[in-house]
Amino acid sequence: MKRTVKELADLVGGDLRGDGQLILASVASLKNAGPNDLSYAEEKFHEAVLSAEAGCVIVGSGEFAGKTTILVRNPKLAFARAASVLLTDDNESRSIHPTAVVAHDAVIGQNVKIGAGAVIESNTAIGDHTIVEAGAYVGRNARIGESCTIYPHVVIYHDVEIGNGVIIHAGAVVGADGFGFVRDGMKQVKFPQAGRVIIEDDVEIGANTCIDRGSLETTIVRRGVKLDNLVQVAHNVEIGENTVIAAQTGISGSCTIGAQSMIGGQVGIGEQATLAAGTIIGGQGGVLNGKRIKGGALLWGTPVRPLKEFLLQQAHLARLPKIYEELQKLRKEWEEFKTKVRDGNTKL
């Protein structure tokens, strides 16, 4: 959505230098930006600002003669906020596609887009300014808030509640049954998966991520959580506010992850584990079943341990081949020494 430089400067609370009436239509890197693009530059890239063709550059300091700039404390953050406006589509183009299937009792808000082939089941509600792209499915009794974006082929099961400003990327599944079974002799009997999923405001869910409904309770993803692609969230899990979880992480059932935590890629978290607020786990870390981790811990490895301890152990592991060679040499020398003693060729 087009905006003037002045409008963007006001939006990010920056100091405008240059042409405030210049209209910007999109964003780009300094290298690729054109005269109608917004870009940004950290201090180490300030030399490139003078040669860039960007219409406006957000910077943290400096004077750039002949260039339109916006001066802010955190250029990257300001750029992200401005980009969210410039990259928003034109509301006037929103409508319900004629091939979409919308139940007669579904409540559809104002200025909603529903794409081709999307299915909106009975007794659902979709808030104002929300976009449901082509081929998406919204199950019965589901609730989607305002200003959400549901990308193509997302599946939202029945009774799922989604807050405002939520983004769900293509192929994600929200509300499928959890993986719960009870053994009966040689057979597995399905345990009821009758709970719900609640996704609070400003959550982003990556492509092909799966969030299972609670078994008898509720799976909850709190406000501001960001989930990467291919994340698995099992039944009865609660993820605290503003937590970030990278791709291919798997969270087992009934886990609790505290607010402001950071979980790296391919981390495995065993069932009923509890991670207090501010926990940080490096990629491919493993949390054992029932483990309770204190807040603010920086952990790595499987099972997870403090980073310093993990790095020390890795250093020792790297030395094992050399230690083995030295041990073999000492063993050989010892055997030779024993042979000489036995043959009387040396004295103890």
Instruction: Provide DSSP, 265-277.
Output: TT-EE-TT-EE-T
Residue showing tokens 């492509």: 207
Contact 22, 33 (CB under 8 A): no
Instruction: Provide DSSP, 135-161.
Output: T-EE-TT-EE-TT-EE-TT-EE-TT-E
Residue 168: closest CA among 124, 227, 247: 227
Contact 12, 26 (CB under 8 A): no
Of the candidates 46, 97, 235, 316, the residue annotated as catalytic is 235
Q: List the strands of the sheet with 137-138, edge to edge.
A: 101-102, 119-120, 137-138, 155-156, 173-176, 210-212, 232-233, 250-251, 268-269, 286-287
Length of the chain: 348
Residue 235 appears among annotated catalytic residues = yes
Residues classed as catalytic: 235
